[in-house]
Amino acid sequence: MNKLISYLFVGILFISCSAKDDYPGVEYAPNMYHSVPYEPLSQVKDEEIGSWLDSNPEDGHGEFYNSNPYNPYGMTMLEPVPNTVKRGGYLPYRIHKDSFEIAALVKSPIEDGDEVLKEAKILYDRFCVHCHGEKGMGDGSVGVVYKGVTAYNSRAVKDKSEGHIFHVITHGKGRMWGHGSQISIEDRWKIVKYVQTLQKQ
């Protein structure tokens, strides 16, 4: 009889610990794996967990999942303010599309280098070559049909500054459409480096 009772006891012990759905099950020493300070990224609401775990749900603080009661979604880390520029990123380019004179004075933030030119060539081949052609003569397969694609080494373009080229890529000019929405600022500056090599031929 004693044996049976002890088997039953052990059996119940196993069953009673099982987790189910959202219920985490009985947690041994929960302070060791749930942090005491607010969880920076957690969006778990204490009220949801609270019905099982929180000894005092009224105050909005969970005992184990410490979501921040003062911020939206219980987050501690807030989302950045709109238009925030990430560190190490580029400021948004805000020169008006008609302001070519101002744009021409802007200096490239990118250093020269073989690595940059290699990446720039890949980008040029992806976005420009079909109109402007391998050597920038305006003889790409689309360019010959589209017509009016200026050669980079023509008198009109060969002395244009890096800022001007960046502006043209961003907003377009005349019959060329802007690429600002498709190519990141950094990649546009890289392409400028490559176009400059074609201007000098």
Q: Which residues bind ligand HEC (CB under 6 A)?
A: 127-128, 131-132, 142, 146, 148-150, 156-157, 160, 165, 168-169, 173-176, 179, 191, 195
CB 89 to ligand HEC: min, Å: 21
Q: Which is nearer to ligand HEC, 53 or 165 (CB)?
A: 165
Q: Which is nearer to ligand HEC, 53 or 128 (CB)?
A: 128
Q: Which residues of 126-137 are buried (b: 16+ CB within 10 A; e: fewer)?
A: ebbbebbbeebb
What is the rounded CA–CA span in Å between residue 82 and residue 58? 34
Cβ-based neighbours of 23, under 8 Å, separated by 6 or more: 52
Q: Which residue is nearest to ligand HEC (CB)?
A: 174
**Number of Cβ within a 10 Å radius of residue 167:** 27
Owner of token pair 């009673």: 16
What is the rounded CA–CA span in Å between residue 145 and residue 116? 31
CB 104 to ligand HEC: min, Å: 9
**Number of Cβ within a 10 Å radius of residue 195:** 21
Q: Which is nearer to ligand HEC, 49 or 157 (CB)?
A: 157
CB 196 to ligand HEC: min, Å: 10
In 3D, which of 49, 69, 73 has the Cα closest to residue 60?
Answer: 69
Q: How far apart, in Å, are the Cα atoms of 5 and each of 1, 74, 189?
A: 6, 47, 78
Q: Which is nearer to ligand HEC, 34 or 93 (CB)?
A: 93
Per the document, the length of the chain is 201
CB 121 to ligand HEC: min, Å: 12
CB 43 to ligand HEC: min, Å: 40
Q: Which is nearer to ligand HEC, 49 or 131 (CB)?
A: 131
